[in-house]
Amino acid sequence: MSARNEPQRILLVTGLSGAGKSTVLKTLEDLGWEVVDNLPLLLLDRLLATEQPVTHREGGQPLAIGIGSRTRGFDAESIVRRIKLLNEEGGRDIGTLFLDCASTELERRYAETRRRHPLALDRPASDGIARERELLAPLRRWASQLVDTTDMSAADLAQQVRVTYSIPGHGEPTLSVLSFGFARGLPRNADIVLDMRFLQNPHWVPELRPGTGQDADVAAYVAEDPAYPAAMQAIETLLGTLLPRYRAEGKAYVTVAFGCTGGRHRSVHVAERMASWLRDAGFSPTVTHRDLGTIPQNSLEDAPQAP
């Protein structure tokens, strides 16, 4: 099938107020999607019937439509019925992304930003959140993808959107390299997770503890571990074997995550080193250090090695 005959990709972005819809739409726009937010539902059919710009007609520029409880004429049940009809008509690949979040976290976010919940202008935010959950329940049940942003920062959410909704190109997969701390939880979107906790830990060297794996003295200390050279060679061999196979299988996105205990020293250095090696090997990875800004804590780190 030629690109001209492929169905247009459409994503409805909805969810609870404060859960990150604006972040998702902004990120999608940066990725090349056409984005429309808070479109009155009476105009939805007119929008979908509008012919795409000539520059995007063959490539099928994807369209993201932001819908929330504040959208004029909002009715979740009627939206679900309309999506079903559009899918039955064909010619479009319509998905729904629903952004959820724990009520306590939403209350905290509203308290921090000093904004009023749109459905509780003169009542506690908790009332508006509960009401909105009821209104959005049909869309949540229907959604093709559900993302819980309770434990996500805006940067975390944007990164997940980039990994999931980048417009597929040709050739290499979209490659992401991530560092993280096991003490703060495994990353949700990693395809390959490699544990760096076998390397000597700079946290227990007082002059190195405040630094990070991006600092030369910390990197040098990690690289002095006797196991380091063979381990790095083995990881390079592993990635050099797997990534071309992922490409051959048509995998569009690959995230390689390197973890240590706190996510500030060993994993950061190895992620930087491997990203550099991948660039030299012809890949174009993006690098994210999830826990780089956290405060060092002895209680989270491995026990210091005996002299």
- Annotated binding-site residues read 15-22
Strands annotated E in the chain: 8-15, 34-37, 63-66, 92-100, 145-148, 174-181, 192-195, 253-260, 286-289
Query: Of 52, 82, 56, 57, which is closest to residue 67 (Cα–Cα)?
Result: 82
DSSP string covering 56-107? HHTTT--EEEE--TTSTT--HHHHHHHHHHHHHH-SEEEEEEEEE--HHHHH
Query: Of 198, 242, 200, which is closest to residue 220 (Cα–Cα)?
Result: 200
Binding residues for ATP: 15-22
Q: Please state the φ and ψ torsions of residue 96, each to the nearest 5 degrees.
A: -130, 125
Q: What is the separation, in whole angstroms, between the first and last Cα of the chain?
A: 65
* Total number of residues shown for the chain: 307
Cβ contact 7:90 at 8 Å: yes
Six token digits for residue 180:
């993280």
Distance CA 180, CA 141 (A): 32
Six token digits for residue 48:
């979908």
DSSP conformation class of 19: S
